[in-house]
Structure 1
Amino acid sequence: MPQALISPDDVKRRLRAGEELALIDLREESFYAAGHPLFAVNLPLGRIEERIAALIPRRDAPIVLYDTGDGRVGRALPVLERLGYRTLSVLDGGLEGWRRSGGEIFIDVNVPSKAFGELVEHVRGTPSLPARELHDRLARGDDLVVLDARRFSEYTTMSIPGGRSVPGAELALRVRDIAPSSATTVVVNCAGRTRSIIGAQSLVNAGIPNPVFALRNGTIGWTLEGLALDHGATRRAGPVSAAAHEAARRAAAGLAERTGVRLLDAAGLAALQRDDRRTLYRLDVRSPEEYVAGHLAGFRSAPGGQLVQATDEWIGVRHGTIVLADDDGVRARMTAHWLRQLGWNEVYVLAQWGELPVELGPEPVRLAALPPSVETISPQALAEAAPRPVIIDLAPSPAFRKGHVPGAVFAIRADLEGHPELVAAGDIVLTSTDGLSARLAAPDLAVGGARVRVLDGGTAGWRAAGFDLETGLDEQAALSAPDDVYKRPYEGTDNAAAAMQAYLDWEFGLVEQLGRDGTHGFRVLEASVTDPV
């Protein structure tokens, strides 16, 4: 059915007015990262069924779709309608229409959070140390600690020598035990700038008496200075003492109150869940390990520091309602006080779990509809198949490079329909990391004469059955160019110096871009006199 067009100016008006709105970019991530509106959320056409239920849980949420005139909107609309999404519109003119209207175009990913971090430093003057000065202080044996605010997986890949992993939401909870003397200098780092700034400013906001600094430009700055990083480090914070916990709880409660965070009990949560006029996000901000050990039913795992750094990876509807949970009275409040500053108007903290149902284990996959019934093939049967079928792997390109079924070719799902190399294929086996993407994509190919099957358990099932994997990606054999994932200049250990410097230069210009954009609604907490706690 024909869809209503919405003008870029109307989208901007709704964003400024605080109305719910999901602005969806249907391109692959690498193209999205090359330019998009500030609050556009990346949801590639071929990943809609996998991701939309978590990003946009309410079927009546207002959704605005755009592409670059490549037909993705037309292909996405029937998918969304089939999944039950009812309030759909199309951005008039697509991305180019946004540009022509005077809308600001931002590059990279997780831009709202990164731009906000730059604004925080600009407004609050967050203290920072250059890499060389930190190196010299460490070499002298100065009284200082280095706390890495990233995810543990990022920390263990590369870290500042002597640093320990304390992901962002954990900082205010654990710093007093790590640095019990007020004379100890605390340096917070990440790979680039955002989590360093937000982490350091978290400790300043929480009123710890120690000298606090962000490591200027993070591990990028360290590397550009020619300094060596650690690899494989496993240092973490220890347990939290009762005195430190109470001090952190008092500070977090004060910050939550100052920024307008609301507290919620079980009855209040139930009332929000019954309100079908709002899009509700329920997020557990504790560590992934704690989440697996027991979490509230219906809550997703969103470690607090990462949630502030990449809010758009969990929350697809700008101005949706957010409920955060922890079990310590610190991490949810610290996270919430940042989300309020990020312009989210409805931010709640669940004050106590009470008798609410608790689940164990990892976060379940959330799908908007049951996956289709498909014909499957076991790893053993595939290994013995003769002649060998065409094996297509729909995993993200970095996962494909790390390991895939021997002979499999890489493809992006959106490229499969009508692909000339598949027209004459008589026997096709689809796989993906765990098989879900392959199962969802199978009906796309099951319209011709080919037999289409899905590898049972996906590539993980193949490996679990004892079969070896191939590595690398042959772009000549691939059905798609591996442009589905944007290579972050601040992750991994093989980034070129020019790319890292260009990334820093871009971040330095974000505050000016925010001023031109005019839709952000950020409100940085002003400084106040805080008694040491």
Structure 2
Amino acid sequence: MTSAADVRFALLARHEIALLDVREEAAFAHAHPLFAANLPLSRLEVEALDRLPRRNVPIVVYDDGEGYAARARRVLKALGYGNTSLLHGGLQGWRDAGFELFRDVNSYSKAFGELVEARRHTPSLPAPEVRARIERGDDLVVLDARRFEEYCTMSIPGGISVPGAELALRAPVVAPNPETTIIVNCAGRTRSLIGAQSLINAGLPNPVFALRNGTIGWTLEDFALDHGKIRQVTDGDPAGLETARQRARAVAYRAGVKHIGLDELERFIADRTRTLYRFDVRQPQDFAAGHPRGFRNYPGGQLVQETDMAAPVRGARIVLHDDLGPRADMTAAWLAQMGWEVYVATGLANTARGADPLNLPELPEVEMLSPAGLAAAQAAGAILIDLATSPVYVRGHIDNAVFAIRARLAAADSDSLQSDDVVLTSTGGALARFAAAELVRPGRRVRALDGGNNAFVAAGGTLVAGTGTRLHPFDDVYRRPYEGTDNPRAAMQAYLDWEYGLVAQLERDATHGFFVI
């Protein structure tokens, strides 16, 4: 057992530690310590190796009395993690110690964004003012700092997609006239603030503002959003690239970021006493076209927004890559201010191709069922259980597949299945194999669908959308009030109110170690 006080000391002393909340994401979003990372028991085997790359890193696991933590610790030990312990008293133990609890997801990145605004007084404009300027035909551009997929779902009228880490590189292309006003937006606040402050820090001569409260603020004013737009800036300005490099490097230098070469990188890789994360911060299409071996793709804006997801080991080293330079330097500058030891690697060869491969442990030996044999198995009475997350299941699942949450399936419901012939599936099939190994018992046949839903589709099968049949409620994934187009107004306003209170929470918690240049 590890006490809450011991965890807090490790955070204050900047020792490496992974504080893992192994509940489902929705429960995690309700309450958790600032630097806790959500790694659900339901997906532990398929996520652990990428998110926890050093097997002897100190790991502290907790739940809120559900019994998941002890199970998760056993899984981690079986995967080779030899320095694991349980948080004494679980989440309640943290409460009893009098320590602060945070809500939502990506909490410390969002809290950092609020601190940046509080310290730097990042200029922002409310939705009515921005709308009035657009309607007057003022000389302005609206740059959407979210992922391209989010922008396509909903966007400010006339907005252009320029994901966060691309801003310092692409904004001068969109707004070459220094008199043109640049307005940066996201769905809520964090990426708007970080994006706008990035351009200000980089010394762009343009007037720069964040759209206050993003698309949420726009929606709460009953202003219409665009949908399905695909405007983006992918081509750089060769003449302006060197200027962008100099600007970004100057910002990174002020934040204490160092550049390293291949020799230093190899020394970091060989250092088994420290956790090392390597991220290529370019957009997915650039990464797929060529990247250094051993680097995972995490576009820079999202990396700053989702640092707890990308790098659960607080106190680890982070090395970033970007073949042009400005994206890595701007991202590194923010991570350094968030208390990370971060470096930018230069001079690396882009010898690997394609998307990130899934880093999986050895899959258990279980009975497999081919997609071609699924229909006959179902006709003979087999129940098909889909272990995808609820949003993925609703978007598309095999007809007659029953939704289930894996962590609950292996415990409370393992004896209440309506069949002694069970077939498990998941998106790619690996998770189904791990779950199948848990459910086998005398008198029950348990098989995993070979290749999962992806293989089913590749074999000519069709997925159906909808809520389908559920063994468990859809309470595994936290519904973000700032994503999608049908969120309740009260939830959006409550989310904004929460964000405005984060700076005060940081002061009460006092473990963050953030600084703002």
Q: What's the secondary structure of 2:474's corresponding residue? A: coil
Distance 1:360 1:221 in 2: 40
Question: Alignment partner of 1:186: what SS?
Answer: strand
What letter is aligned with 2:393? F
Structure 1's consecutive aligned runs of 4 or more residues displaced over 3 angstroms after TM superposition are: 420-424
The residue aligned with 2:505 is 513
Q: Per-residue displacement from partner, 1:202-245 (whole Å, max 9, x unpaired)? A: 00000000000000000000000010000000000141112211
Separation of aligned partners in 2, 1:472 and 1:422 = 24
In structure 2, C-alpha distance between the alignment counterparts of 1:45 and 1:191, rounded to whole Å: 29
Q: 1:375 aligns with which of 367, 371, 378?
A: 367
Does the 8 Å CA contact 1:428/1:453 hold for their aligned counterparts?
yes
User: Is the partner of 2:302 in helix, strand or coil?
Assistant: helix
Q: Which runs of 5+ in 1 are unaligned?
A: 526-533
- In structure 1, the residue corresponding to 2:373 is in which secondary structure? helix
Q: 1:399 aligns with which of 383, 388, 392?
A: 392
Map of 1:124 onto structure 2: 120
Q: 1:115, 1:514 within 8 Å by CA — same for their partners in 2?
A: yes
**1:424 positional shift:** 6.2
Whether 2:340 is the aligned partner of 1:340: answer no
Q: 2:4 aligns with which of 3, 8, 13?
A: 8
- The CA deviation string for residues 85-143 of structure 1, in whole angstroms up to 9 with x for no partner, is 01112211111111111110100000010000000000000000101111111111100
Whole-angstrom CA distance in 2 between matches of 1:14 and 1:334:
28
Please point out which of 355, 360, 374 is paired with 2:353.
360
In the alignment, what sits opposite 2:196?
200
Query: Does the 8 A contact of 2:144 with 2:161 survive in 1?
Result: yes
Question: 8 Å contact 1:416–1:444 — kept in the other structure?
Answer: no
Structure 1 residue 46 displacement after superposition? 1.7
- Offset at residue 69 of structure 1 (A): 1.9
Contact 1:120/1:126 (8 A) holds in 2: yes
* TM-superposed deviation, 1:8: 1.1
Contact map agreement 2:381 2:419 (CA 8 A) in 1: no
Alignment counterpart, residue 410 of structure 1, candidates 394, 397, 403: 403
Amino acid in structure 1 at the alignment position of 2:342: V
Listed one character per residue, the Cα deviations across residues 290-319 of structure 1 (whole Å, up to 9, x for unaligned) are 011111111000100000011011101001
Residue equivalent to 2:484: 492
- Write the distance in 2 (CA, Å) between the matches of 1:340 and 1:417: 41
User: For residues 423 and 393 of structure 1, do their structure 2 counterparts lie closer, same or farther at Cα, with a shift above 3 Å needed?
Assistant: closer
Query: How is 1:218-297 mapped onto 2 (pairs within 5 angstroms)?
Result: 218-297=214-293
- 3-state DSSP of counterpart to 2:397: coil
- Equivalent of residue 446 in structure 1, options 440, 446, 461: 440
Equivalent AA in structure 1 for residue 386 of structure 2:
D
- Identify the residue that residue 217 of structure 1 maps to in structure 2: 213
Aligned residue pair count: 515
Structure-1 residue corresponding to 2:452: 458
SS of residue in 2 equivalent to 1:188: strand
**1:435 counterpart (406, 429, 432):** 429
The 3-state SS of whatever aligns with 1:147 is strand
* Residues 339 and 515 in structure 2, CA contact (< 8 A), matched pair in contact too: yes
1:44 corresponds to which residue?
A: 40
AA matched with 1:450: R
Q: Partner of 1:20 in structure 2?
A: 16
Residue 313 of structure 1 pairs with residue 306 of structure 2:
no
Residues 308-339 of structure 1, C-alpha deviations (whole Å, 9 max, x = no match): 01101110100100000000011101100000
Q: Distance in 2 between matches of 1:49 and 1:199?
A: 35
Match of 2:383 among 390, 395, 406: 390
CA change 1:372–1:207 in 2 (3 A) is: same
CA distance in 2, matches of 1:21, 1:82: 19
Amino acid at match of 2:479: K
- Give 2:325's aligned residue: 329
Q: Secondary structure at the match of 1:359?
A: coil
CA distance in 2 between partners of 1:497 and 1:156 (Å): 21
Cα distance in 2 for partners of 1:315, 1:191 equals 23
2:186 is the alignment partner of 1:190: yes
Q: Which 5+ residue runs of structure 2 have no aligned equivalent?
A: none
When residues 424 and 176 of structure 1 are mapped into structure 2, their CA distance, relative to the original with a 3 A threshold, is closer
Distance 2:470 2:500 in 1: 38
Shift of 1:441: 1.2
Deviation for aligned residue 1:420: 5.5
Give aligned-pair identity as a percent.
57
Post-superposition CA distance 1:421-473 (Å, at most 9, x none): 54562211111112121122110112332221122221222223223323222
Q: Supply the distance in 2 between the matched residues of 1:449 and 1:236 (Cα, whole angstroms).
A: 57
RMSD (Å) for aligned C-alpha atoms: 1.3
Partner Cα separation in structure 1 for residue 448 and residue 477 of structure 2:
24
Distance 2:256 2:322 in 1: 18
Task: Give the whole-Å Cα distance in 2 for the aligned partners of 1:213 and 1:299.
Answer: 33
Helix, strand or coil: the match of 1:501? helix
In structure 2, what is the Cα distance between the partners aligned to 1:318 and 1:342?
11
| Kept after mapping to 2: 8 A contact 1:59/1:85 | yes
Return the letter of the residue paired with 2:510: G
**Letter aligned with residue 517 of structure 1:** D
Find the aligned partners of 2:406 and 2:317 in 1 and give their Cα distance. 32
Separation (CA, whole Å) in 2 of partners of 1:358 and 1:422 = 51
Decide whether aligned partners of structure 1 residues 208 and 423 sit closer, same or farther in structure 2, where only a CA change above 3 A counts.
Answer: closer
| Aligned equivalent of 2:170 | 174
* Distance in 1 between residues matched to 2:420 and 2:94, nearest whole Å: 44
* Residue of structure 1 equivalent to 2:93: 97
- Out of 453, 462, 465, the residue aligned to residue 471 of structure 1 is 465
